[in-house]
A and B are shown apart, each in its own frame.
Chain A
Amino acid sequence: MPRIYLDHASSLPVDPRVLEVAQPYLTTFHGNPSSLHSVGLEAKRAVEEARSKIAAFIHAENENTILFTGGATEANNLAIRGTALRNISQGKNVVASVIEHMSVLNPMKELQKNGFTFTTIPVDSTGLVDLKQLEQALTKNTIVTSIMYANNEIGTIEPIREISKLVHEEGLYLHVDAVAAAGRIPIDVQKDGIDLLTLSSNDLYGPPGAGALYVKPGVKLQAVLLGGGQEKGLRSGTENVFAIAGMGEAARLAHKEMDKESTRLTSIRDALIKEILTIEQSYLTGHPTQRLPHHASFRFSRIEGESILLNMDMYGIQVSTGSACSSKTLEPSHVLLAIGLKHEEAHGSMVLTLGRSTTMKDVPAAVVQATRETVQRLRALSPMP
């Protein structure tokens, strides 16, 4: 059965062009960048080239602002724990929106054990951060505020420039998790007023197992992973040269193709949204217009998300859901609850995230048909009024 993969927010295939650039670093040029012989130096060169590509991608001041990590979760942990603990003498408060990824929320919760207070900022029903409450929450004790560029579950894009102005009036640093947004909408860390930015390799069609943290010159932080002192002592461990080289090339390609690709995906996204919303008692989640170009997220009354996901998979279509049953904790998505959905409403969620393999030709028709039939079948089984 031909596959229609619409869960790019969870994982993406490595782009073949990226793999071609990166693969030699697994086999021929497998050196350790810290080795001073020719094989090591070749590996080091690849890491530095990737660093430059990523700096250019986000309009960073220079390549030295980019630190490589083992992934976005690690970059988030470094950004949050690293700045909070390093600057603890200046204040003991951290702030985040309620819809941040758990790799931001959990490190912030954990900081409470170090005596930090953790303030969360609510969002409205479309997922936009409440700027008034943010302003009120920020104090001179606020060391790091973390607000994502765009949310992976509901697609909403946050007003980062406005947020940056507020954060810098009172607080110290603004951290932005750009995992969902990177490669989809333009990011300029200088113009956007960002101090720390998290990127994920796989989310750019690069190899999984690498991420990056942009650190604005002057920002003080300390390492979370200790060891041999790589990445200026801020992230020890032999660099994953293959994944890093891949990440650099992935960023370069994403940067180059972003406008055209985002325009292309927006048309497909809009066609899907228009058609799927004709299904009775179906609703779009997230902001209707300020949303990622590849992101179409819905909820359907009276039915449950894991069933939706399994049923769609039977049609050869892979989607995601925010339902409780589908999570490890059996709690529904904290993002869906944060936008004001009741538990039973949050259960019926289906999230589609499009990608390079998604075409206008056969995808919308097949997906809309499968969704209709799935919703119909599950509703016929349902006791919900």
Chain B
Amino acid sequence: MATVGYSKKVMEHFMNPRNVGVIENPDGYGKVGNPVCGDVMEIFITVIDDVITDIKFRTFGCGSAIATSSMVTELAKGKHLDEAMKLTRSDVANELEGLPPQKMHCSNLAADALHEAIKDYRNKKQKK
């Protein structure tokens, strides 16, 4: 039978998202999406010895948007930056036990927001 609606895992992350909030003066900051489309995600990271020791997110968007943001922060926390850069939309979607096809773009945004935060950290580090 074809999947209908969101998986239990997606709903769980929607109802109890992990790592919600902001980090003041973050080591890295990424923001993707736009209000016109209806999805905006922000990710904040704290980096020590190239490891993401803390990560927070805020999201304006649908159930998938919130769940994928939450999941990407859960996957990225504690990872080395190189490992975290390799996280893809499929990793996020798979950990959530699947997303409806038209919602896959949400998981893309979540991975992009994380990558932006990492790039921002590296740019800032280079400038020092």
Measured CA separation A323–B35 after assembly (Å): 12
Give the contact stretch, choosing among A62-70, A102-110, A191-199, A299-307. Answer: A299-307
A323 touches B38 (CB 8 A): yes
The reply on B42 being an interface residue by CB < 8 A is yes
Looking at the assembled complex, report how far the CB atom of B24 sits from the nearest CB atom of chain A, in whole angstroms.
Answer: 15
The reply on B15 being an interface residue by CB < 8 A is yes
B14 touches A304 (CB 8 A): no
Q: Main SS of chain B's interface residues?
A: mixed
A343 with B38: in contact, given A307-B14, A310-B63, A314-B15 (CB under 8 Å)? Answer: yes
* Chain A residues whose CB sits within 8 angstroms of the CB of B62 once the complex forms: 304-307, 323, 325-326
Q: Supply 8 further A-B pairs (C-beta < 8 A) apart from A304-B65, A383-B60.
A: A304-B62, A306-B63, A307-B61, A310-B6, A325-B61, A343-B38, A380-B20, A381-B20
The reply on B58 being an interface residue by CB < 8 A is yes
Measured CA separation A347–B66 after assembly (Å): 15
Interface size bucket, B side?
A: 20 to 34
The reply on B59 being an interface residue by CB < 8 A is yes
B→A interface (CB under 8 Å): 6, 11, 14-15, 17, 20, 31, 35-42, 58-66, 102-103
Looking at the assembled complex, report how far the CB atom of A374 sits from the nearest CB atom of chain B, in whole angstroms.
Answer: 11
The reply on A332 being an interface residue by CB < 8 A is yes
* Chain B residues whose CB sits within 8 angstroms of the CB of A380 once the complex forms: 20
Q: List 22 A-B contacts (CB under 8 A).
A: A304-B60, A304-B61, A306-B63, A307-B14, A307-B63, A314-B15, A324-B37, A324-B38, A325-B62, A325-B63, A325-B64, A330-B102, A344-B38, A380-B20, A381-B17, A381-B20, A381-B66, A382-B58, A382-B59, A383-B40, A384-B35, A384-B40
0/1 string, A331-375, CB within 8 A of B gives 1: 010000000000110010000000000000000000000000000
* Chain A residues whose CB sits within 8 angstroms of the CB of B15 once the complex forms: 314
A382 touches B38 (CB 8 A): no
A347 with B17: in contact, given A307-B62, A307-B63, A383-B58 (CB under 8 Å)? Answer: no
* Chain A residues whose CB sits within 8 angstroms of the CB of B20 once the complex forms: 380-381
B65 touches A325 (CB 8 A): yes
Taking a contact as CB atoms closer than 8 A, the residue among B11, B35, B61 that contacts A343 in the complex is: B35
Measured CA separation A303–B38 after assembly (Å): 9
Measured CA separation A306–B64 after assembly (Å): 9
Interface size bucket, A side?
A: 20 to 34
Looking at the assembled complex, report how far the CB atom of A319 sits from the nearest CB atom of chain B, in whole angstroms.
Answer: 14
The 8 residue pairs across chains A and B that have the minimum distance between CB atoms: A344-B35, A325-B62, A306-B62, A383-B58, A343-B36, A383-B42, A347-B38, A324-B38
* Chain B residues whose CB sits within 8 angstroms of the CB of A302 once the complex forms: 60
* Chain A residues whose CB sits within 8 angstroms of the CB of B63 once the complex forms: 306-307, 310, 325
Measured CA separation A154–B35 after assembly (Å): 22
B38 touches A332 (CB 8 A): yes
A347's nearest neighbour on chain B, judged by CB, is B38
* Chain A residues whose CB sits within 8 angstroms of the CB of B102 once the complex forms: 328, 330
0/1 string, A291-305, CB within 8 A of B gives 1: 000000000001111
* Chain B residues whose CB sits within 8 angstroms of the CB of A332 once the complex forms: 38
B6's nearest neighbour on chain A, judged by CB, is A310
* Chain A residues whose CB sits within 8 angstroms of the CB of B42 once the complex forms: 383
B43's nearest neighbour on chain A, judged by CB, is A383
Measured CA separation A381–B67 after assembly (Å): 11
A307 touches B38 (CB 8 A): no
A303 with B14: in contact, given A343-B35, A383-B41, A384-B35 (CB under 8 Å)? Answer: no
A307 touches B35 (CB 8 A): no
A326's nearest neighbour on chain B, judged by CB, is B62
Taking a contact as CB atoms closer than 8 A, the residue among B6, B17, B38, B58 that contacts A304 in the complex is: B38
* Chain B residues whose CB sits within 8 angstroms of the CB of A343 once the complex forms: 35-38
Which residues 49-102 in A have Cβ within 8 Å of B in the complex?
none
B66 touches A307 (CB 8 A): yes
A345's nearest neighbour on chain B, judged by CB, is B35
Measured CA separation A380–B36 after assembly (Å): 20
A383 touches B14 (CB 8 A): no
* Chain A residues whose CB sits within 8 angstroms of the CB of B41 once the complex forms: 383
Looking at the assembled complex, report how far the CB atom of B64 sits from the nearest CB atom of chain A, in whole angstroms.
Answer: 8
Measured CA separation A383–B58 after assembly (Å): 5
Measured CA separation A305–B41 after assembly (Å): 16
0/1 string, A270-312, CB within 8 A of B gives 1: 0000000000000000000000000000000011111100100
Looking at the assembled complex, report how far the CB atom of B92 sits from the nearest CB atom of chain A, in whole angstroms.
Answer: 17
Measured CA separation A304–B20 after assembly (Å): 17
Measured CA separation A323–B63 after assembly (Å): 12
Measured CA separation A383–B59 after assembly (Å): 6
Looking at the assembled complex, report how far the CB atom of B53 sits from the nearest CB atom of chain A, in whole angstroms.
Answer: 22
* Chain A residues whose CB sits within 8 angstroms of the CB of B103 once the complex forms: 325
